Structure 1
C-alpha cells in the first residue's frame, strides 16, 4: 500500500465534510457545535485513553519529544523571521503576518491522530499523544504572541483551561500512578475516541474556505512552504541526528508533515485579525497536506 492510499480514507472524510457543509442543509450552523463537541469532549477522551492504556517508557519517548519540540521551535523561528528578512519583510503586511504566522507551525491533531495507529499501532498512538500534549501549549503560546494586545494573563488562564492540555496532564498522571481505565468501560471510551477522529476530520472539511486565497500571495507562499516543506525536512534531520527507530520516525514525520490546525482562523478572528484570510490559508494547507504527508512519509521516511 502506498502512502497516498494510506492517507486516502482521512482526506475522503475531509472532502465529505466539505461537500456536506456546502451542498446540504447541514451547513456551518450544524458543524460549529460539532467542532465544539469534538474539541471539548471527544478528542480529550481519545488523548486520555491513548496515554493511560500502556505504560510510558520515559527514556524511549524522550528522543521523539525532543525531536518534535526541536522541529516545532525551528518552525516558530522561521515564521517569526519573515518580517525581518530584507528581501521579504518590506513586501508583507505586518498585521497579516501576525495572524498568519501560526499556520507555519501549528498542526492538525485530528488528521495526525487518525494516521498514528495505522503507522505505528498502539505504541505509535501513545507516543503521538505524549508529543501532542507537550507541543500544544508551545504552539498555542507561539501562535498568540504576535497577535497579543495586552491579553497575556487572560491567555495564560485560557491555556490552563485548554481541554487538550488537561486531558494530557491527567492522562500522564494516571499512567505514572499505574491507573487504568476499567475493562467494562473500555468499549465505550474506545467508541468515543473513534467518533472523535471521524467527526474531527469531517469538521475540518466543513471549515474549509476558498474566499481569500489570493490575498497576500508572498506571505501565503512563505508560511505554507515552512509548514509543508521546511518542517518535514527539519524533522527528517532530527530523526537522523537522534537515531529514532522506525515507529518514532514515522510518528515524527506524520506530525511535522500534516496540514495546519483548523482552529487557526478561530484564534485569528477572536483576537481581532483577518480571520477570513487565515481560513483561506488553512484550506490550502489542508489540500497541500496530501502532498506533504506523502513527501514526509514516502520520500523522506
Structure 2
C-alpha cells in the first residue's frame, strides 16, 4: 500500500470512533516510511564516499554535474511544463513568499539579537545565514510527489519557481557584501537562478517543450534527484560544527522548528486547500540546500563549517518533516 494512502486511511479511521492513540503511535512510523527512500539514498552516498574508492574527489565532480547541469535542467523543465495558474496558486505563492521573507529576516537578524551578538562571528554568519532559509529541492520534489502525486509535484515546482530566485539572492547578498565582491556578478553566474528565471520567462511566453525532448529531459531530471540526494550524503561532515555552536543552534532552530510553526499559521491565514497545506508544511521543514556549502566555499568562506550545518540539517529533516506534517494532522 502507498504510504500516503495509509496516512489517509489512518486519519479517516480515527474519526470513525476508533481510538485516537492508534494514530498517535502510527503517524511517526508512516512519515518515516514516506522519507525512507530519500534518506536511504543519502545514506548510500555517505557510505560509498567513506568506505569505497568512490571518495570525496569523485563526489565533488558529481556535485558539480548536478549543480551546474542536471538540476538546472530539472528546474527548467518542471517550471516550463507546469501550468502557472496564478489564480489557483496565488494563495500558495503568497504563503510561500511570506514564509520565505520571514525566514530571511530571522536569519539576517541573528547577529543583532540581545544575547547572541557577542557569540556570533559576522563572517561565519554571512556564509551560514542561508542555511536557515534555503531548502533541499531534491528531497522536496521527491517528497511532494510521494505525498500528493503529480499535483504535489506541480505545487512544489511552483514554490521552487518563486522562492529559488529570492533565496539565492538572499544567500549571495551577505557573502558578497561582507567580502566586497560584485553582487550582480555572483547572481548572473548562479545556475539555479538562471534556470529558474529562464523557465518562468518561457512559461509566461507560452513556450512548450517539443515532444521528442520530453523523455530525455525527464531522465535527466530523475537522475538529478537520485545523484543530488547521494551527493548530499557524500558531503556530510561533522568535524567543523564545534567552531560556532551558538550560530549553528540558531540557524537550525529557524530552519527546523520556527518555520513549520509559521507555516501552520500561514495555511490558515491564506486559506490553503488540504493538498496545498500539505505541500507548504513539507516545504517548511525540508533540510537546507546541499549546495549551500558549495556556494560558501566558492565565494571564499568556511565551506567545512557550512557543510557541517548541511549535514546536521539533513539529519534533522528526519525529525522536522514528521513534526511539520504532524502539526497539520493535529
Q: Shorter-chain TM-score: which interval?
A: over 0.9
Q: Whole-Å Cα distance in 2 between the matches of residues 216 and 46 of structure 1? A: 35
Pairing 1:184–2:197 present = no
Three-state SS of the structure 2 residue aligned to 1:185 is helix
Instruction: Note the C-alpha offset of 1:157.
Output: 2.8
Q: Whole-Å Cα distance in 2 between the matches of residues 220 and 126 of structure 1? A: 33
Residue by residue, what CA displacement relative to the aligned partner does 1:100-130 show, whole Å, maximum 9, x if unpaired? 2211111111111111212222232222222
Match of 1:42? 70
Asked if the contact 2:44/2:230 (under 8 Å) is kept, the reply is yes
Q: Whole-Å Cα distance in 2 between the matches of residues 153 and 98 of structure 1? A: 13
Residue by residue, what CA displacement relative to the aligned partner does 1:128-178 show, whole Å, maximum 9, x if unpaired? 222212212211222233323477773313323433233333333333344
Q: Whole-Å Cα distance in 1 between the matches of residues 238 and 140 of structure 2? A: 23
Match of 1:296? 324
Asked if the contact 1:129/1:168 (under 8 Å) is kept, the reply is no
Instruction: Note the C-alpha offset of 1:182.
Output: 2.8
Asked if the contact 1:98/1:147 (under 8 Å) is kept, the reply is yes
Instruction: Note the C-alpha offset of 1:244.
Output: 0.8
Shift in CA distance, 87/246, structure 1 to aligned 2, threshold 3 Å: same
The 10-residue stretch of structure 1 (270-279 or 244-253) with the greater mean CA deviation from structure 2: 270-279
1:269-288 equivalences under 5 Å are 269-288=297-316
The 10-residue stretch of structure 1 (112-121 or 157-166) with the greater mean CA deviation from structure 2: 157-166
Q: Whole-Å Cα distance in 1 between the matches of residues 294 and 179 of structure 2? A: 16
TM-score, normalised relative to structure 1: 0.93
Q: Whole-Å Cα distance in 2 between the matches of residues 24 and 177 of structure 1? A: 48
Q: Which runs of 5+ in 1 are unaligned?
A: none
Match of 1:260? 288
Match of 2:117? 89
Pairing 1:33–2:61 present = yes
Instruction: Note the C-alpha offset of 1:201.
Output: 0.4
Three-state SS of the structure 2 residue aligned to 1:260 is coil
1:140-155 equivalences under 5 Å are 140-149=168-177, 154-155=182-183
User: How many positions carry a matched residue from both structures?
Assistant: 301
Q: Whole-Å Cα distance in 2 between the matches of residues 167 and 94 of structure 1? A: 31
Match of 2:221? 193
Instruction: Note the C-alpha offset of 1:6.
Output: 0.4
Q: Whole-Å Cα distance in 2 between the matches of residues 267 and 162 of structure 1? A: 9
Equivalent residue for 1:160, pick from 188, 199, 221? 188
Equivalent residue for 1:215, pick from 232, 239, 243? 243
Equivalent residue for 1:226, pick from 247, 254, 258? 254
Q: Whole-Å Cα distance in 2 between the matches of residues 168 and 149 of structure 1? A: 24
Mark the structure with the bigger radius of gyration: 2
Q: Whole-Å Cα distance in 2 between the matches of residues 150 and 90 of structure 1? A: 18
Q: Whole-Å Cα distance in 2 between the matches of residues 48 and 97 of structure 1? A: 31
Shift in CA distance, 161/94, structure 1 to aligned 2, threshold 3 Å: closer
Q: Whole-Å Cα distance in 2 between the matches of residues 102 and 175 of structure 1? A: 28
